[in-house]
Structure formats: structure tokens, C-alpha cells
């Protein structure tokens, strides 16, 4: 399998470590801070703290979702390792990456998002969301041509064709597959048995692993993650700093995010 080959490469471990540390934050972008869309109005300044606070408060108004967590002691250990690595290694690197002009970083995020169109198309089709399938195909055609290989998003800005994030975990959920149990997966962060299987399914249709050789694909993924984080200003911290139990707060935020994604 693609992931299996990647994991066997010693020189890729540093990149895998970067992804491991950064992934816990990226799972919370759905809580009201959706950077890949990159509406210019969202980037008038670097302060996303207001949106993060609104997202955190919104979680309090949503019904509580429970999940079986039989591996909680192990999960907590991995969570705290990720948390420390994120705060003291990955986020400082992402902040340093802000020396790159913001328009360039926005275009980079658009480029990687456009590359993932096949994954969104396949999962939309498997869920019989035909309108969303057509929208994603139209977006890909417009952004790849007019948007210059996906560097820009004229499909959204000029044609009102919004991106619809779909993954294999959501596809499984649409057919009635439950979470199973909660897990914090090395490298991938917070997940569940269902969504962990979904990650493997998505990796098999991720064009990046086919467009580049193994090491270049990992480098591209690491760059995309750092670039993504450089466009944020402490959203993860806003969800955890004032929490009595950050582990539970992040677990609940993950479950709420997945529930919302499946419902859309």
C-alpha cells in the first residue's frame, strides 16, 4: 500500500514527525475557521482569535456526543506529546514561515486543495451527492485552467461554486457505520476506528502520492501543513488554553466536527 511504502523510508521520518505534530490542530479548522476556502476578506489581518472564540462558544450550544474510549490512557499520552510538539516546535516553524508573502501562501494552499479534488469527487459520488460531485468537477476545471493550475480559486470568487469537503470516513458514516472507538493515531492525531479506516482509503486516491515520488510526496504534505498553520493565529490554543481538561475538549471538538461534516 502507499502508506506502507512511505513508512519504510528512513529519510522520510523527519517529515512524518512534522506531520504527526501538526495534524492535531488541523482537525479543528472545521469549527468555523475554514482556511482552504481563502476568501480575501478573511485575511485583512492575522487575528483569527475572534473566530476561534466564537467557534469554542458554539460548541457549548451543541448536544454532547459520546464515544467509546477504551484506550484513553494511551490516547492521552499521545495527545500530550502532540500538544507539546505543536506548541514548541511546529507552530513556531509555521509562524516563521510567515516571512513568505501571504498571497503566495494562499496560492499554495489553493494549489494543494485543488490537487485533492479527485478525493472529494469520489467520496461525493459514493455518497450519491450528485450535485456536489458536479460542483467539484466544475471547480476543478475552472481552477485548473482559469485559476492557473489551482493557484487561485475563481470558481468560488467569480462563479459561486464553493468547495465541499468529503472524505471516506464521511462516506462510511453515510452508510450507517459508527465511530467504533476513539483513537489518537500516531502521525494522524485524533480519530476513530471508522475515520482511521477512512484515512487509509483517502490516501489511496490522493493524487499527491502518485504525482510525486515517495519522499517528494511527504515533503509536499509537510509543506502544505506548515503553510496551512501559518495562516492561523492560535485557534488550537483558543480551544485548549482555558480548558480544565484539554484532552476531553479536543475529543469533543473532533466529534462535533465530524458530526457536522457528515450531516452536510
This prediction's pTM: 0.74
Cα distance between residue 103 and residue 43, in whole Å: 10
| Residue of higher predicted confidence among 46 and 214 | 214
pLDDT of residue 235: 82
Q: What is the pLDDT of residues 210-232, one digit of tens each?
A: 888 888 888 998 899 899 999 98
pLDDT band at 242 (very low <50, low <70, confident <90, very high): confident
Mean per-residue pLDDT for 129-148? 97
* Cβ contact 20:89 at 8 Å: no
pLDDT tens figures, 62-75: 456 788 999 999 99
Buried-exposed string 144-158: b where 16+ CB fall within 10 A, e elsewhere: beebeebbbbebbee
Q: If you count DSSP H runs as helices and E runs as strands, how many of each does the chain have, helices first?
A: 15, 2
CB atoms within 10 A of CB 191: 21
> What does the pLDDT read at residue 22?
44
Of residues 187 and 261, more confidently modeled: 261
Please compute the mean of the pLDDT values over residues 127-134 and round it to a whole number. 96
- pLDDT at 187 (0 to 100): 63
Distance, CA of 198 to CA of 3 (rounded, Å): 13
CA distance 126 to 60: 33
Note the pLDDT of residue 209.
87
Question: What's the average model confidence in pLDDT over 177-185?
Answer: 92
> Tell me, what's the pLDDT at 125?
96
> Which residues, including other chains, have CB under 8 Å from residue 24's CB and lie 6 or more apart?
79, 82, 83, 86, 189, 190, 236, 250
SS3 content of the chain, % helix, strand, coil (to 5): 65, 5, 30
More confidently predicted of 105 and 53:
105
Residue 15's pLDDT band (boundaries 50, 70, 90)?
very low
Q: Does the structure show a pLDDT above 90 at 239?
A: no
Over residues 42-49, mean pLDDT: 42
Of 214 and 136, the one with more pLDDT:
136
In the predicted model, what is the mean pLDDT of residues 132-155? 97
Domain boundaries, the chain: 2-263
Mean pLDDT (the chain, rounded): 80
- What pLDDT does 63 receive? 53
Report whether pLDDT(114) > 50: yes
Residue 240 · residue 56 · CB < 8 Å = no
The pLDDT, as a whole number, for residue 246 is 92
pLDDT at 149 over 90: yes
For 259, phi and psi rounded to 5 degrees? -60, -45
Q: Tell me, what's the pLDDT at 121?
A: 97
Amino acid at each position: 500500500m502507499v502508506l506502507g511504502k512511505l513508512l519504510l523510508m528512513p529519510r522520510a521520518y523527519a517529515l512524518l514527525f512534522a506531520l504527526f505534530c501538526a495534524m492535531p490542530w488541523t482537525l479543528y479548522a472545521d469549527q468555523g475557521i475554514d482556511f482552504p476556502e481563502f476568501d480575501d476578506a478573511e485575511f485583512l489581518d492575522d487575528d483569527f482569535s475572534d473566530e476561534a472564540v466564537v467557534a469554542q462558544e458554539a460548541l457549548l450550544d451543541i448536544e454532547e456526543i459520546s464515544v467509546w474510549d477504551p484506550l484513553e490512557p494511551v490516547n492521552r499520552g499521545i495527545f500530550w506529546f502532540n500538544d507539546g510538539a505543536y506548541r514548541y516546535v511546529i507552530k513556531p516553524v509555521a509562524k516563521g514561515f510567515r516571512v513568505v508573502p501571504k498571497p503566495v501562501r494562499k496560492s499554495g494552499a489553493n494549489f494543494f486543495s485543488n490537487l485533492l479534488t479527485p478525493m472529494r469527487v469520489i467520496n461525493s459520488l459514493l455518497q450519491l451527492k450528485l450535485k456536489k460531485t458536479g460542483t467539484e468537477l466544475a471547480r476543478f476545471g475552472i481552477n485548473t485552467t482559469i485559476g492557473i493550475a489551482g493557484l487561485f480559486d475563481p470558481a468560488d470568487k467569480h462563479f459561486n461554486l464553493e468547495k465541499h469537503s468529503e472524505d471516506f470516513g464521511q462516506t462510511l458514516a453515510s452508510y450507517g457505520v459508527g465511530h467504533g472507538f476513539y483513537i489518537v493515531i500516531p502521525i494522524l492525531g485524533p480519530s476513530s476506528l471508522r475515520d482511521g479506516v477512512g484515512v487509509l482509503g483517502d490516501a489511496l486516491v490522493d493524487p499527491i502520492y502518485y504525482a510525486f515520488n515517495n519522499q517528494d510526496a511527504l515533503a509536499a504534505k509537510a509543506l502544505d501543513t506548515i503553510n496551512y498553520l501559518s495562516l492561523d493565529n492560535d485557534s488550537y490554543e483558543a480551544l485548549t488554553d482555558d480548558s480544565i481538561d484539554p484532552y476531553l475538549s479536543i475529543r469533543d471538538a473532533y466529534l462535533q466536527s465530524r458530526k457536522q461534516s457528515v450531516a452536510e
